[in-house]
């Protein structure tokens, strides 16, 4: 399930959100609360508010172990007004906006099922979503595979635009235990992070359509003709100046 940690406890969003296909191919969640923060301090307040509503539990080693994955997305927006260089003389300036998205993802650790508490219910779902993320990473590492199974988990479906965007940067930080009793989990975590580190996505611009190619060729031809016109006008002005100079000599 996907829960809105910023919603009120009585809200329907705290009882589960649905993932739906967006018009641009991504996903959106109807009812998800979006808030505006003007300062860094306000953003941290919302983060702490969400962390307080997160699911925690005792796993036998850590009394406050996270029993869920958490996602905190921040969208930065910068607005500016630039001089209008178009043909519209009535509008001297034009508004422009630049946006960027930063996703902070805290993944709950993969653990063995323990026979007490809510661990029996939480642990299988945590492990399944982590397994789905590992499958996506493996598919992205295999150049022969054309399909990446983002739909196998809600976690990977929500993160698809970040994982598949070649212009995005992903940083993974892992937590390790120095105890020899956690050697197996430590090795699995390091191998997981190493696979993620080796993923490289390359930007491939979409091929231009025939119509776009013809339009580009026409624009290049227009630019060449305009350059020829400018050159001929310069020659004509030079000839006129030379003629006026010669006429002045004759009069003198």
Task: Give per-10-residue mean pLDDT for the chain (252 aa).
Answer: 81 71 78 89 92 76 75 86 55 67 84 55 79 88 84 88 82 84 85 85 61 72 84 88 82 68
- Alpha-carbon distance of 56 to 66, in angstroms, equals 5
pLDDT of residue 208: 56
Q: Which residue's entry shows tokens 């994955």?
A: 69
pLDDT of residue 1: 82
Sign for the pseudo-dihedral over CA of 172, 177, 180, 185:
negative
- Alpha-carbon distance of 67 to 54, in angstroms, equals 8
CA angle 122/124/126 to nearest 5° reads 70
Burial of 191 (0-12, 13-18, 19+ CB in 10 A): exposed
pLDDT of residue 52: 86
pLDDT of residue 166: 78
pLDDT of residue 44: 93
Helix pair angle (119-141, 183-197), 10° resolution:
40
pLDDT of residue 115: 46
Q: What is the pTM of this model?
A: 0.64
Structure tokens at 182: 């956690």
């Amino acid at each position: 399930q996907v829960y809105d940690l910023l919603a009120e406890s009585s809200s329907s969003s705290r009882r589960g959100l649905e993932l739906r296909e967006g018009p641009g191919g991504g996903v959106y969640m109807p009812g998800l609360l979006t808030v505006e923060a003007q300062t860094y301090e306000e953003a941290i307040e919302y983060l702490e508010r969400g962390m307080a509503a997160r699911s925690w539990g005792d796993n036998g080693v850590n009394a406050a172990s996270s029993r869920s994955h958490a996602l905190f997305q921040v969208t930065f927006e910068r607005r500016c007004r630039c001089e209008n260089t178009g043909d519209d003389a009535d509008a001297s300036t034009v508004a422009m906006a630049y946006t960027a998205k930063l996703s902070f993802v805290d993944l709950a650790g993969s653990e063995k099922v323990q026979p007490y508490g809510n661990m029996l219910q939480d642990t299988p779902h945590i492990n399944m979503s982590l397994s789905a993320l590992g499958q996506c990473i493996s598919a992205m590492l295999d150049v022969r595979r054309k399909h990446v199974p983002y739909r196998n988990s809600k976690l990977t479906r929500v993160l698809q635009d970040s994982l598949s965007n070649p212009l995005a940067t992903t940083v993974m930080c892992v937590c390790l235990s120095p105890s020899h009793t956690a050697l197996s989990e430590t090795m699995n975590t390091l191998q997981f992070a190493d696979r993620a580190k080796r993923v490289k996505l390359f930007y491939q611009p979409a091929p231009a359509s025939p119509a776009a190619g013809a339009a580009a060729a026409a624009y290049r031809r227009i630019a060449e003709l305009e350059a020829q016109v400018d050159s001929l006008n310069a020659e004509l002005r030079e000839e006129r100046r030379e003629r006026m100079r010669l006429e002045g000599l004759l009069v003198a």
